[in-house]
């Protein structure tokens, strides 16, 4: 019998009054809350996030030192069967690879992964990641590796921007067969609207910071996507491949539950 059950039994048997039972229950709740955090001093790891949300805490590598990433990454391997770190440059990745056996660096995505067991495709269907140009690939690859870490299959449709729109039409069967579609585009960001008008699936648009001066580091693409007249298009922040991938992974997971 755990402590909470003991308190409730004592309350039922009349051996505790309501106020004392309430105090002890609050004490138990506080103790459990404290136990959900692994304190590294410079980081408070949310080790029970997977229980709440379905996926463990992810490390955002930009702005962290190599030593900090190594410490967080290593500790998370003790609490989960998979670890993902995004926005990690090659030099910092080398430090993690040396310190954590079994970790892998995905250079195009600028991401690090670690799995206790080989990653499996756990969910039915797939997510299509559609990328306008080769310059947008780092953001598209970040989305793709996130989806794969969440247990869904990815079909990549790359370099199909509107400047040569016939390239997109050749791949429409693959795009339309997906449960959810991510569209990654810089410059003017028109590809999301085009795709949104051709499919019956949710589209997650990702503006990138690729483009000349008037693109304002992705703001132009962001505004185009936000102002899309195509229905079913949702927009994430500039260069946020991880956010798009995470949302797409959740959608595909929940669609698999219903199928």
Question: Crossing angle of helices 18-34/3-12, nearest 10°?
Answer: 170
Residue in the structure block whose two tokens are 């930009």: 62
Q: Quote the pLDDT of residue 92.
A: 94
Q: Quote the pLDDT of residue 193.
A: 94
Sheet with 104-106, side-by-side order of all strands: 59-60, 82-86, 111-115, 104-106
Say what the pTM is: 0.81
Among the listed residues 162, 165, 240, 173, the one whose alpha carbon sits nearest the alpha carbon of residue 201:
173
The ranges of the chain with pLDDT < 50 are none
Q: Quote the pLDDT of residue 33.
A: 57
Contact call for residues 202 and 230 (beta carbons, < 8 A): no
| Cα-based torsion angle of the residue sequence 90, 93, 98, 99 in order, rounded to the nearest 10 degrees | 160
Q: Quote the pLDDT of residue 135.
A: 94
Q: Quote the pLDDT of residue 124.
A: 79
Among the listed residues 36, 156, 145, the one whose alpha carbon sits nearest the alpha carbon of residue 83:
145
């Amino acid at each position: 019998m755990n402590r909470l059950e003991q308190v409730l039994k004592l309350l039922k048997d009349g051996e505790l009054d309501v106020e004392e039972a309430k105090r002890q229950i609050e004490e138990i709740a506080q103790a459990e809350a404290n136990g959900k955090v692994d304190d590294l001093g410079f980081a408070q790891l949310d080790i029970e996030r997977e229980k709440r949300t379905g996926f463990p805490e992810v490390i955002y590598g930009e702005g962290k030192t190599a030593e900090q990433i190594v410490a967080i990454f290593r500790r998370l391997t003790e609490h989960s069967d998979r670890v993902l770190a995004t926005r990690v440059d090659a030099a910092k990745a080398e430090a993690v690879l040396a310190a954590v056996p079994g970790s892998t660096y995905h250079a195009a995505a600028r991401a690090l992964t670690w799995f206790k067991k080989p990653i499996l495709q756990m969910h039915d269907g797939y997510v299509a990641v559609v990328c306008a140009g080769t310059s947008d690939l780092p953001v598209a690859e970040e989305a793709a590796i996130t989806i794969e870490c969440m247990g869904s299959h990815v079909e990549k449709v790359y370099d199909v921007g509107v400047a040569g729109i016939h390239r997109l039409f050749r791949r429409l069967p693959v795009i339309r067969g997906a449960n959810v579609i991510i569209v990654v585009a810089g410059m003017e960001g028109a590809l999301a609207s085009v795709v949104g008008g051709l499919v019956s699936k949710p589209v997650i648009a990702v503006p990138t910071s690729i483009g000349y001066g008037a693109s304002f580091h992705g703001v132009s693409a962001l505004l185009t996507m936000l102002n899309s007249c195509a229905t079913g298009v949702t927009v994430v922040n500039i260069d946020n491949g991880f956010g798009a991938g995470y949302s797409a992974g959740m959608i595909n997971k929940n669609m698999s539950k219903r199928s």
